Structure formats: C-alpha cells, structure tokens
Amino acid sequence: MIAICCDHAGLELKNEIKKHLEEKNYEVKDFGTYDANSCDYPDFAYATAKSVAAGECEKGILVCGTGVGMSMCANKVHGIRCALCGDCFSAQATRQHNNANMLALGARVTGAGLALKIVDTFLDTEFEGGRHQRRIDKMMDIENKENQ
C-alpha cells in the first residue's frame, strides 16, 4: 500500500498521482487534505510518515508547494528516509543508494507529467544493498543517537 498526502498547494497534483497509482493497481491510502482550504502541512506529513514507519504502508508520497516542508517534517519521524526529488535520476538514485521510503514532490515546481514519471521511477527502483546498506546503517545509528 502506498500512503499519500498533500497540503492545499499540492491537492491537484496529489489527486493526479493517486489516480495514476490506482490505474496501475496500487492500493493507495490517502491521508488528506481533501479540499483547497489553507491547512498546515505538518499535520498531514506526520500522519503519512507514521504509517510508513509503522509498516502499515510500504512507501509514502508527500506533495506540497515545494516539497521542502513536507520532506523536513517526514524526516523527523524515526525510520523515515524521505527524499525531495524533482527529476527521475534523483528518484532512482535515492531508492538504489539511500533506500528512501518516502518521496516528496513540489506541486509548484514540478509539472504533473514529470511528477508521474518521478513517482513511477521511485516505486519501480529497488534498493541495491551492498555497500549502500553500510551507509544506511550509519545514518540510522545517527538517528538512534539523536533520539536518546
């Protein structure tokens, strides 16, 4: 299952991504927002990130105006490795090398056509493991030390 959310700035793109994923037979859990009224992105990013961290959803997608705020919020949740991507190469590399489990997108900076390609790349790319796992382990050690 793929978790997805947005704030008011990302609503239209989130809905396009959700439709795209459902057409590709992904099960999608939508954490909101559901209308264009101004809202606070941390509320949605946190709930979505918690679902991924808890294993309720395999991966997550966050959409706000730039993707920056949502990614920063998600990365506060233990076990989340959220990458803000504006191109397919970054989406591929962050899955291969960083084993990112969440993707953030900026609706005001990334067009829908490119955003859908980034989403597909992110979801279709596997983690390579190997030397990259050692680096992930070190990253998680830092997170664990900071959360003590």
> What is the residue-averaged pLDDT of the chain?
97
95 backbone φψ class: left, alpha, beta (φ>0; ψ -120 to 50): alpha
Overall pTM surpassing 0.85 (yes/no): yes
First to last CA, the chain: 31
CA nearest to 42, candidates 53, 33, 54, 29:
33
Going by pLDDT thresholds of 50, 70 and 90, the confidence category of residue 148 is confident
How large is the average pLDDT for residues 32-57?
A: 97
3-class SS string, 98-129: HCCCEEEEECCCCCHHHHHHHHHHHHHCCCCC
Q: What is the DSSP letter of 10?
A: G
The one catalytic residue in 8, 20, 97, 132 is 97
8 is catalytic: no
CA nearest to 57, candidates 5, 124, 3, 123:
3
pLDDT at 23 over 80: yes
How large is the average pLDDT for residues 30-42?
A: 97
| Tens of pLDDT, residues 94-146 | 999 999 999 999 999 999 999 999 999 999 999 999 999 999 999 999 988 88
97 is catalytic: yes
**How far is it, in rounded angstroms, from Cα 58 to Cα 2?**
6
The one catalytic residue in 64, 73, 82, 85 is 64
